[in-house]
Amino acid sequence: MILSGLRIAILFSVLIPLAAVACESVDITNAWIREPPPSSNVAAGYFDAMNIGSEEQIITSIKSSCCARVSMHETSIEGGRARMHHLDALKLAPTEKVNFAPNGAHLMLVGPVVPIRSSEVVEINFFCLDGTSTPIEFKVLRTN
Ligand SMILES: [Cu+2]
């Protein structure tokens, strides 16, 4: 009996922070930035996001001291050409997973003020609609 009570207490201690801090119920994994050419003023970041909570979550902005500007972009093919569009927000239904991946949606990092070179780590903050945020470490990877 004592043991099962303890188990319940542990369970609640795990679940309550997720419910209380909304952005923490967005699980961000595989966060990485493609190392840009040395002369480039832009870089692209990628990640997988999953809503592990029970309510819809909306990522409303992404900020980092790494760069002058960070925004979410999606890519579409129009007339055989890839075009980027600004994404105002990213909505995630419960259990929904989205992938920001090469040739698709990505983070656009403009005007880096820190070196975005392979083996560096760049911290990027995800902000949710309720004002909470979660910091994510993006690894810079060389792909060529
Ligand atoms: Cu872009």
What CA–CA distance (Å, rounded) separates 78 from 127? 30
Whether 62 has a pLDDT exceeding 90, the answer reads yes
CATH fold, domain 2-141, is: Immunoglobulin-like (2.60.40)
CB 139 within 8 Å of CB 30: no
Question: Ligand 1 centroid to 81 CA: how many Å?
Answer: 14
Calculate how far, in angstroms, residue 36's C-alpha sits from the geometric centre of ligand 1: 13
CA 66 – ligand 1 centroid, Å: 16
pLDDT at 17 exceeding the cut of 70:
no
Residue 100 Cα to ligand 1 midpoint, Å, equals: 11
Q: Is 36 a residue whose pLDDT tops 50?
A: yes
CA of 130 to the centre of ligand 1 (A): 26
Locate the domains of the chain by residue range.
2-141
Q: What mean pLDDT comes out for the span 90-119? A: 96
